[in-house]
């Protein structure tokens, strides 16, 4: 079967630097090894706009195997104009067992050694940003000892 439907493109939306605090280790649950990582701040830079990451969010993680983590981060951005954006970012992070252990200890791991992909969604009541409520986004990330860097792309 031949299709004439084209593949979607990607357009840069923003880079997020999300600062994190020490993990709360919940332990082994039915969902995996459960951890909660507080989000304590950060910065966002998009094309023609900036925002800050407000403290008070968290990344709810389940380490489901020696190589894979399921991530569910929820937090709020505040733009330079004072507009608020609610973020839900679901991701998977896959690495070798050794690199996974290093990440869990809070150590740096080369980006090329980790598959870290996400599907962030953005929700706002701000009229000037209302279009983000109606779009899909994807991204890739890097976990550093005290922050997570995420490049977000609009799916065209």
Going from N- to C-terminal start, the domains of the chain cover: 10-155
Which residues does 61 contact at the CB level (< 8 Å), separation at least 6?
23, 34, 35, 36, 37, 69, 70, 71, 72
pLDDT in tens, 67-89: 999 999 999 999 999 999 999 99
* pLDDT tens figures, 106-136: 888 988 999 999 999 999 999 989 999 999 9
**Which pTM was predicted?**
0.91
Q: Is the dihedral of CA 136, 47, 140, 103 positive or negative?
A: negative
Q: Mean pLDDT, the chain, as a whole number? A: 95
Q: Regarding predicted confidence, which is higher, 128 or 38?
A: 38
10-155 maps to CATH 2.40.160.20? yes
Bigger pLDDT: 155 vs 106: 155
CB 90 within 8 A of CB 71: yes
Q: Which of 41, 22, 137 is nearest to 89 (CA)?
A: 137
Is 63 in contact with 69 (CB distance < 8 Å)? Answer: yes
Predicted local confidence at residue 47, as pLDDT:
87
To the nearest whole percent, how much of the chain has pLDDT over 70? 99
pLDDT of residue 46: 94
* pLDDT of 43 higher than 90: yes
The confidence score (pLDDT) of residue 1 equals 65
């Amino acid at each position: 079967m031949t299709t004439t439907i084209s593949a979607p493109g990607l357009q840069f939306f923003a880079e997020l630097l999300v600062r994190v605090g020490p993990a709360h280790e919940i332990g082994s649950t039915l969902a995996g090894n459960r951890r909660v990582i507080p989000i304590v701040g950060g910065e966002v830079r998009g094309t023609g706009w900036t925002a800050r990451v407000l403290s008070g969010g968290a990344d709810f993680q389940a380490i489901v195997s020696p190589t894979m983590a399921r991530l569910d981060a929820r937090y709020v951005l505040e733009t330079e104009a004072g507009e608020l954006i609610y973020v839900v970012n679901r991701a998977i992070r896959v690495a070798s067992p050794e690199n996974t252990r290093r990440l869990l200890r809070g150590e740096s791991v080369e980006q090329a050694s980790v598959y870290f992909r996400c599907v962030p969604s953005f929700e706002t009541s701000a009229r000037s940003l209302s279009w983000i409520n109606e779009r899909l986004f994807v991204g890739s990330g890097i976990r550093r000892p005290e922050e997570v860097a995420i490049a977000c792309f609009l799916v065209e």
